[in-house]
Amino acid sequence: MTKKILILAGDGIGKEIVAEALKVIDTLKTDFALDVELTHGEIGGAAYDADGHPYPPATQALAKEADAILLGAVGGYQYDDLPRDVRPERGLLGIRADLELFSNLRPAILNEELADASSLKPEIVAGLDIMIVRELTGGIYFGEPRGIRTLENGEKQGYNTLVYKESEIERIAHSAFKIAMQRDKRLCSVGKANVLEVMELWHDVVERVGKEYPEVELSHMYVDNAAMQLVKEPKQFDVMVTGNMFGDILSDAAAMLTGSIGMLPSASLDKNGKGMYEPIHGSAPDIAGKNIANPLATITSVSMMLRYSLDQADLAQKIDDAVESVLKQGLRTADIYVEGQKSTTLVSTSEIGDAVVASLKA
């Protein structure tokens, strides 16, 4: 059956990088019989300009209908003074909440060719391929009660609440085990059960869900150790699953192991596998409109979409191989270009997109 993909290019470099991803999708349609129908909508600042809201009803309706969504990026300096509830970033929070996208997938992948871009030694990170699964709609960022109160002695006290219900832990655990099944079948659950009761429950529920996935080797790690291990020996991990705040911190640290923000895709999934796919970076207003942004994170977001929402792992692999091949050819956008490095060529956004398409067709 034809699957529906909603394209939300957004702001800044969003339009340029999504244009390259669209070339890739078109090639998959024409040359590899990918059966998808594309619709286009506005989000973020572009939607505010058109409709006065960063996640307008027209986009909501399209998002509800779609099987998967590809998003560029949102934001721009010109929106910085808008009231908080209509800022471009609110569009992102709005769509995530509206579609109940509770499972955030953040891969940290480092192609061998780019190992020099990392701040760690190449032998520690070359060939790195980790998936961090972060719970996105619960935990301390949403827990009640929260606030700042004044104590009897007049001193102020800030407070937040770290809460997880069994059902919330169960659904993120299922999501992570399913992803582990598609990879190397190793899952590390990251918590802090030695200090936090909520993480004791987390540990027990993940163990319980794990019984349904006997092929997956489950381990547990405290978050402080996980942070150390990510920097010391990151290749020991396959899939990591954790709560909202720990995942926020660990996934950024893992992303930086790779040293190149323009290379990393992400996904946010609901309980049925419907997802929104986007590069981890923002709208990069400093380089927008110059045809120099790196579109590879957006192109590999399409690969994730094929793998996790459209059940097309073979086509996903074709995209990953094409990106690998382009890097092997030495083609580099400015963000991953190292002056003086042998056998590399500085290319534009559209040139590297064309090269991925050529490699797909080869």
Q: Give the footprint of ligand NAD on this chain (CB under 6 A).
A: 13, 17, 73-76, 89, 92, 261-262, 278, 281-287, 293-294, 297, 335
| First CA to last CA distance, the chain | 28
Strand order in the sheet with 217-222: 36-41, 3-10, 68-73, 275-279, 265-269, 103-109, 129-135, 239-242, 186-191, 217-222
158 bridge partner residues: 148
Q: In the complex with ligand NAD, which residue's Cβ is closer, 120 or 255?
A: 255
Between CA 17 and CA 263 the distance in angstroms is 12
Q: In the complex with ligand NAD, which residue's Cβ is closer, 50 or 228?
A: 50
Between CA 276 and CA 59 the distance in angstroms is 13
Please report how the helices 296-308 and 313-328 are oriented relative to each other, as an axis angle in degrees rounded to 10. Answer: 160
Write down the catalytic residue from 192, 270, 274, 320: 192
Write down the catalytic residue from 49, 129, 248, 354: 248
Of all residues in the shown chain, the one whose CB is closest to ligand NAD is 75
Residue 274 known to be catalytic: no
User: Considering the complex, what minimum distance in angstroms separates the CB of residue 43 from ligand NAD?
Assistant: 9
User: Considering the complex, what minimum distance in angstroms separates the CB of residue 268 from ligand NAD?
Assistant: 10
Write down the catalytic residue from 252, 271, 311, 361: 252
Token digits of residue 50: 């058109």
- Count the neighbouring beta carbons within 10 Å of the beta carbon of residue 268: 25
**SS3 (DSSP) at 267:** strand
User: Considering the complex, what minimum distance in angstroms separates the CB of residue 89 from ligand NAD?
Assistant: 5
**SS3 (DSSP) at 82:** coil
Q: In the complex with ligand NAD, which residue's Cβ is closer, 75 or 191?
A: 75
Residue 192 known to be catalytic: yes
Residue 248 known to be catalytic: yes
Q: In the complex with ligand NAD, which residue's Cβ is closer, 46 or 188?
A: 46
156 bridge partner residues: 150
Write down the catalytic residue from 224, 271, 311, 361: 224
Q: In the complex with ligand NAD, which residue's Cβ is closer, 238 or 278?
A: 278
User: Considering the complex, what minimum distance in angstroms separates the CB of residue 4 from ligand NAD?
Assistant: 22
Between CA 95 and CA 105 the distance in angstroms is 16
Write down the catalytic residue from 23, 141, 222, 235: 141
User: Considering the complex, what minimum distance in angstroms separates the CB of residue 78 from ligand NAD?
Assistant: 10
- Count the neighbouring beta carbons within 10 Å of the beta carbon of residue 224: 13
Report, as residue numbers or ranges, the catalytic residues.
141, 192, 224, 248, 252
